């Protein structure tokens, strides 16, 4: 496949600069799909760098209590519990729960598994709220501001509303509103999440673009008629992870960061 960034919109095909650049070439027409009015964003890994955030806070806690913990492994194991915990909710094994509660359930088990005994309940709860304090990728805030000038922008995350609101305040994310899987009582990639977001925006799916670093998320949105933009985040799981950054023509846009996406969409 040619290495390129592309936008397919309403029958109009726009070919542009090589994938891998953070600035789309001048030959890309600065024109957005006219029917797209809102962009909704996956958050963990797409907008914010959860792994680095957890490692940093864990290291601070470790120094306070002289904990011998591999905080990179800790972050990965905490995140790896996310999918199985949601599946337990989907299967009916667990009742519906906010992501804060699932994160705490995973954290409690991780603390037991790693024999961490020095933390108070207050410290454990504060650590669980690290997900409210995640740091954005360097391009995220300036890119969102540019996109906001042309589109309605909102998260569409499995994070609960309070988590996403606190995250926005902490990281300076300029959302127009906060959309959460919590509002549908489902988790992505259940179709109810995407359709509820469109309903709350009073827009049909084809006027909403899902932006994510995760192909499964985008594929689920695409199946429901949403437009899609894949933003590569090769460092989400750390520098040692081999990540596929090839363009994916299933999706309307392929790009490397939000600033490049804003240029591609004419914002």
Indicate whether 37 and 147 sit together in one domain: yes
Q: Do 83 and 149 fall into the same domain?
A: no
Shared-domain flag, residues 157 and 97? no
The pLDDT of residue 217 is 98
Along the 267 residues of the chain, how does pLDDT read in single tens digits?
Answer: 333 344 433 322 233 333 332 333 333 333 445 489 999 999 999 999 999 999 999 999 999 999 999 999 999 999 999 999 999 999 999 999 999 999 999 999 999 999 999 999 999 999 999 999 999 999 999 999 999 999 999 999 999 999 999 999 999 999 999 999 999 999 999 999 999 999 999 999 999 999 999 999 999 999 999 999 999 999 999 998 888 899 999 999 999 999 999 999 999
Q: 132, 165, 186: which is the final residue of a domain? A: 132
* Cα(176)–Cα(155) distance, integer angstroms: 9
Q: Is 168 a member of any domain?
A: yes
Q: What is the pLDDT of residue 122?
A: 97
- Same domain? For 250 and 236 the reply is yes
* Closest of 16, 13, 48, 46 to residue 167, by C-alpha: 48
CATH of the domain at 247: 3.40.50.1000
201 and 212 together in one domain: yes
If asked whether residues 85 and 177 sit together in one domain, one would say: no
Q: Residue 194: what pLDDT?
A: 99
Q: Which of 74, 97, 132 represents a domain boundary (last residue)?
A: 132
Peptide bond before 172: cis, by omega within 30 degrees of 0?
no
Residue 243: the pLDDT is: 87
Residue-level pLDDT at 263:
96
**How many domains does the chain fold into?**
2
The CATH number of the domain holding residue 94 is: 1.10.150.240
Give the domain range for residue 76: 50-132
Let me know whether 18 and 143 are in one domain. yes
Same domain, 181 and 168: yes
Please say which residue of 132, 157, 184 terminates a domain: 132
Co-location of 63 and 183 in the same domain:
no
Whether residue 1 lies inside any domain: the answer is no
């Amino acid at each position: 496949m040619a290495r390129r960034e592309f936008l397919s919109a309403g029958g109009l095909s726009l070919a542009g600069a090589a994938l891998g650049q953070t600035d789309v070439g001048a030959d890309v027409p600065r024109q957005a799909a006219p029917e797209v009015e809102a962009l909704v964003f996956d958050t963990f890994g797409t907008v914010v760098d959860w792994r680095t955030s957890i490692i940093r806070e864990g290291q601070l806690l470790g120094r306070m209590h002289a904990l011998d913990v591999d905080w990179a492994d800790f972050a990965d194991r905490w995140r790896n519990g996310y999918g199985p915990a949601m599946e337990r909710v989907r299967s009916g094994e667990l009742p519906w729960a906010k992501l804060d509660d699932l994160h705490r359930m995973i954290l409690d088990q991780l603390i037991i598994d790693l024999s961490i005994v020095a933390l108070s309940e207050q410290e454990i709860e504060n650590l669980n709220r690290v997900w409210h304090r995640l740091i954005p990728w360097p391009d995220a805030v300036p890119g969102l501001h540019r996109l906001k000038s042309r589109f309605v922008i909102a998260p569409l995350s499995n994070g609960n509303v309070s988590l996403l609101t606190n995250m926005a305040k902490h990281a300076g994310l300029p959302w127009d509103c906060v959309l959460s899987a919590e509002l549908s009582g489902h988790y992505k990639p259940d179709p109810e999440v995407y359709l509820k977001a469109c309903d709350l925006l009073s827009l049909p799916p084809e006027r909403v673009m899902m932006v994510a670093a995760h192909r499964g998320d985008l594929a689920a949105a695409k199946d429901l008629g949403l437009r899609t933009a894949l933003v590569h985040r090769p460092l989400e799981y750390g520098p040692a992870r081999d990540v596929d950054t090839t363009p994916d023509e299933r999706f309307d846009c392929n790009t490397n960061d939000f600033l490049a996406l804003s240029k591609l969409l004419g914002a």
